[in-house]
Amino acid sequence: MKKLLHKIMTFRQRKGILRSPKSRHRQGLTSGFTLIELLVAALIASLMVAVMLGFLVGVLDSDRKETVKTNAQEELQAAISYIADDMQEAIYVYGAEGLLAINSQLPHMQTTSPSTECNQTSNTCTPILVFWKRFTFDPNSTATYSSPTATPTTEIIGCMPYVNNPAATPPASLTELNDCRASATTRAYGRDTYTYALVAYYLKNDDPTIANNSTSGWSQTARILRWEIRDGYVAYCAKGGTIGSTGCPASAQATTRLPSNTSTLITVPIPLVDPNQYFVSPSVGFNRPDFSTAGGLTSWKKFADFNFTTSPFVSLVDFMDDTEYVSTGFYNQGGNSVATGTGAIATASATSALKIPIGKNDTSTPNKNLDCDDPSIGVGTTDPANNFTQRVPADFSSWGVGGSNPSRLSSFYACVSPNTVTARIFMRGNALARLTTPATAKARRIPELGSISFFPTADVRSFGRSQIGLGK
């Protein structure tokens, strides 16, 4: 047996010696990874790639959400700053009762010549800030007389005809324009001429499921709209001369063409596009209010129909929160209790993520809002007894035609002090809706505690720069 094993070992050794290097190299090549090993390695690599891709997608999604939050906050801040700047020229701002008094005269209540944005048929626009302001004409711009026979036919607004030469040509050089004259005796100074304008800011609900609602080109959430009409520029008249074919006062003391005594603008509205009296025609539908008393402002009547082509609604900001206001249940937003001065009742009654700190107005005469008297959350008043404050809209649940909140939303509201021309404005945006446009999944956008950061808010207290002295 021992000899047999010796012969076998000797034979194998001889075969190894006789094998060529080339054959030994080929044998080495045959050793390596098996198919199972390769499959396992591929699986591990795939898992690693999937984890990395998931992480990358998560980072990109988080970045996108943070971007829409930032954009929403920036646009909200820009919009509220614009409104605050606009209100600086206000001379009177309507409170809740004042708005109720003139509600039927405002553009969202029109049916005979409705706007495609806001009208009584769709009933989706809530007036929040409505005020009278001064509008200053650009003194360097030119305009054409409304009278076709006027001489000259075109004039520079800041250089109206005066004294001896009503037909003098406009200034031909920059020097003449700056000192507003063609010669020392033929031009009058009028470079700070202003008129009055009525401005209204609305919250517009763009929900496409509401009947007759037009949402073309927008996010289908909610928007803030601005609307304005203004008085015209009453033309100046030469002393004892004529500019138009008729109508220039003959009195040597008269320097301006004013409406005649038969044109009682307050009680008997007449067409204000008067070719003999206006240099720049007023907006269609404009009528001058009586600034002598608060009653004259709250009894303002428009003239005829507005022209929404020449005085359109302008979108200020889109993607406002379109969460429908709810006053009871799990999604109660608050703001439906009578104000207490601190907002505690209104806030405590809110069970949803959205908490409105300003409660309702009381039932006194005039209605008052103690929350709006509080300077930390409202307007703040130095004389609450006389300078009363009110919340607009007066009732978030008043949705019917002519109600205080046709939009059915609460993402834009204000505290207003009419007597001091002061307002605190509140806004709430919707960043979640920016992730899908148009944002049609309304159920996805209901604010919860986990998503409240996607509903940025902004507020500002704005003061009118001037104030009219209202009689008692």
Chain position carrying tokens 């130095």: 382
The answer to whether residue 338 sits within a structural domain is: no
Report the domain count for the chain. 1
> Could you tell me where the DSSP H helices lie in 220-361?
294-298, 344-348
Averaged pLDDT, 72-92? 94
- Torsions phi, psi for 178 (to 5 deg): -65, -40
pLDDT: which is higher, 192 or 286 = 286
Average pLDDT, the chain: 77
Domain assignment present for 371: no
3-state SS class at 422: strand
> What DSSP line would sit under 194-235, residue for residue?
EEEEEEEEEEEE--TTSTT---TTS-SSEEEEEEEEE--EEP
d(CA 351, CA 333) in angstroms, rounded, equals 7
Residue 129 located in a structural domain:
yes
φ, ψ dihedrals at 82, nearest 5°: -60, -45
pLDDT confidence of residue 410: 95
What mean pLDDT is predicted for residues 200-225? 87
pLDDT at 63 over 50: yes
Q: For residue range 231-266, what is the model confidence (pLDDT) as tens digits?
A: 877 655 433 334 333 334 333 323 333 333 333 333
Token couple for 322: 């379109």
- Predicted local confidence at residue 390, as pLDDT: 95
* pLDDT for 444: 53
Enclosing H/E stretch for 9: helix 2-18
Mean pLDDT, to the nearest integer, of 12-25? 52
212-226, 317-331, 368-382: least confidently modelled range: 212-226
Report yes or no on 79 lying in a domain: yes
Instruction: Give domain status of residue 375, yes or no.
Output: no
Q: How far apart are CA 264 and CA 278, in angstroms?
A: 16
Residues 30-54 pLDDT 10s: 567 788 888 888 888 888 888 888 8
Distance CA 472, CA 376 (A): 31
- Mean pLDDT is lowest, of 77-91, 160-174, 350-364, for 160-174
Residue 190, pLDDT > 60, answer: no
Q: CB within 8 A of 253, min separation 6: which ones?
A: none
Please say if the pLDDT value at position 181 is more than 60.
no
- pLDDT-derived band at 195 (thresholds 50, 70, 90) equals confident
Q: Parallel, antiparallel, or unpaired for β 142-144 and 154-156?
A: antiparallel
Residue 26 inside a domain? The answer is: no
61-74 average pLDDT score: 85
Quick check: 442 and 67 in contact, CB under 8 A? Answer: no
Give the mean model confidence (pLDDT) for residues 448-465. Answer: 88
**Residue 153 belongs to what H/E stretch?**
none
Q: Which of 98-107, 147-156, 224-233, 333-342 has the lowest mean pLDDT?
A: 147-156
d(CA 421, CA 419): 6
Predicted local confidence at residue 460, as pLDDT: 95
Q: DSSP assignment, residue 265?
A: T
**How far is it, in rounded angstroms, from Cα 252 to Cα 244?**
17
With 0-12 CB in 10 A as exposed, 13-18 as middle and 19+ as buried, what is 387?
Answer: middle
Give the range of the structural domain holding residue 97, as residue numbers without chain letter.
Answer: 59-157+193-322+412-463
**pLDDT band per the 50, 70, 90 thresholds, residue 359:** very high
What is the structure's pLDDT at 404?
Answer: 94
Structural domain includes residue 31: no
Judge whether 433 lies within some domain. yes
- Give residue 216's identity as a one-letter amino acid code: S
Mean pLDDT across 131-148? 74
